[in-house]
Amino acid sequence: MIKIAVVGASGRMGQTIIESIHQNDKVALGVTLDKGDELSAVINQFDVVIDFTRPEATLEYLKVCKQAGKAIVIGTTGFDDAGLEIINNAAQEIPVVFAPNMSVGVNLSLKLLEMAAKVIGEDSDIEIVEAHHRHKVDAPSGTALKMGEVVANALGRDLSKCAVYGREGIEEPRDRQTIGFSTIRGGDVVGEHTVSFFMEGERVEITHKASSRMTFANGAVRASAWLKDKSAGLYSMQDILDI
């Protein structure tokens, strides 16, 4: 049975992950850690780490896992290019599941977005609106950026060149080649994402709304169980769900 280490265990997400582990008969809770605890000190008590903390902490946990040959599931967002490169390099030596959103519904939405972009993307203005709780510090969310990346790739565009983050003042008419992002932060919103394809006379919207963190926790625990006996590599929830 897979033994899981949960880092950031006292936080809201950490507590939800622990609850999910207890509900899953394919995994067991190996150890819990919080800020100040050393992962290297309990290296023999787990097989895989689940991490939903902050980029700087994640990279430290990743370093320990790489040295010990342990797997890791990363749900943290907000990495810069250097951080992403470190994750990619580590995945050459250990199994890594890295996904901006572990929800089954979100990952199904990504597949639907790819289909929609290929069918109507060239004929539409594409806008992405996301909302999260007031404590979320990165914007746009990692999920929103992933949605934009999926759409851009389906259309043969480079998101780094066609993304527009917010609008203000008097501008030129909208360029159809761009993909717009809008961010909302407030209250206790778990996570909401809508991608709209605006066409002449009609609009197609693909929306995902999360009402509980358990959706993300269950996905992360499912990913941990899936990693059993997997070789080194960088895996996504798309791999785990086979979509």
* Token pair in block for residue 156: 């043969």
CA–CA separation, 64 vs 80, rounded Å?
A: 20
- Angle (nearest 5°) at CA 109 between 107 and 110: 65
Pairing relationship of beta strands 95-98 and 2-7 according to DSSP bridges:
unpaired
CA–CA separation, 95 vs 33, rounded Å?
A: 21
- What's the burial of 114, exposed, middle or buried (CB within 10 Å: 0-12/13-18/19+)? middle
* Token pair in block for residue 230: 């997997």
| CA-based nearest residue to 52, from 221, 243, 233, 225 | 221
Cα distances (angstroms) measured from residue 145 to each of 84, 101, 112, 131, 174: 14, 11, 16, 13, 20
The one catalytic residue among 132, 146, 193, 208: 132
* Token pair in block for residue 84: 């992403």
The one catalytic residue among 63, 136, 228, 230: 136
* Token pair in block for residue 88: 């990619």
Q: Is 63 a catalytic residue?
A: no
Q: Is 135 a catalytic residue?
A: no
CA–CA separation, 109 vs 227, rounded Å?
A: 23
- What's the burial of 108, exposed, middle or buried (CB within 10 Å: 0-12/13-18/19+)? middle
Catalytic residues: 132, 136
